[in-house]
Structure 1
Amino acid sequence: EEMYLFKNFDDSKVHQLFYLDKHPNNKQEAGRFPVAWCKNYAQGKVFYTSLGHREDVWENKRYQAHILGGIKWALGLEEGDASPGNL
C-alpha cells in the first residue's frame, strides 16, 4: 500500500481513525503518521483515507466498511465522533 505524508500536518485538528506508528519508508523512525482521519469543517464534514491504491485492498470487507462508513458519516447518514486531537 502506498502512503502519503503531509508536511506541517497538525494532527491535533483532526480525529484520527488509523495511523502508522513507524514511518512507512523508514521503520526505525517512530511516530504517528496519519493514514485516515475525519473532521468537521464549517457546516460540512471531511473524511480522508490514504488507503486503497491496490485492487486487492478494495476487495477486503473491512476496507469496504471503512470507506462506506466514512461516506455515510460525511453525508450525515451515520453518527460518529469527529472530535479533534483524540490521540
Structure 2
Amino acid sequence: ALMDPGEERSKQEVYDIAPYPIVWCRELGDGRVFHNAMGHREDVWDHEMFQTWVGDTIEWAAGEGEAAAAPNWGDVVP
C-alpha cells in the first residue's frame, strides 16, 4: 500500500469503512502490478505532477527502475 484515503478526506466514517489502499504496487512472479484509484476528475489529470507520477509508475510496471514493493500495510495504515 502506498496511500490510504484517510477518514478526514473520505466517507469512511459515515459508512463505517475500514482503511483501504487507494494506491498500491506489488511484484507478481516476474511482473509488476500498480493500482491507482485516483484521477476521477479531469483537473487531476491536467496536473503536471500527477502526469509525471503516472508516467513513472507505468515505467516501473514495465520493468524499468526500482521501487520498494514489499508488503507494508502496517506502515501505511497504522
When normalised by structure 2's length, the TM-score is 0.75
More helix by percentage? 2
Q: Does the Cα contact within 8 Å between 1:21 and 1:30 map onto a contact in 2?
A: no
Which structure has the higher relative contact order (CA within 8 Å, separation 6+)? Answer: 1
CA RMSD of aligned residues (A): 2.1
> Aligned equivalents of 2:46 and 2:21: distance in 1?
22
Count of paired positions:
72
More strand by percentage? 1
> Aligned equivalents of 1:32 and 1:59: distance in 2?
28
Q: What residue identity is the alignment partner of 2:11?
A: N
Counterpart secondary structure, 2:67: coil
Gaps (5+ residues) in structure 2?
Answer: none
Q: Does the Cα contact within 8 Å between 2:6 and 2:19 map onto a contact in 1?
A: yes
> Aligned equivalents of 1:26 and 1:17: distance in 2?
18
Residue number in structure 1 paired with 2:35: 48
Q: Does the Cα contact within 8 Å between 2:2 and 2:25 map onto a contact in 1?
A: yes
Gaps (5+ residues) in structure 1?
Answer: 1-15
Residue number in structure 2 paired with 1:6: none
When normalised by structure 1's length, the TM-score is 0.69
Residue number in structure 1 paired with 2:68: 81
After TM superposition, the runs of 4+ consecutive aligned structure 1 residues lying more than 6 A away are none
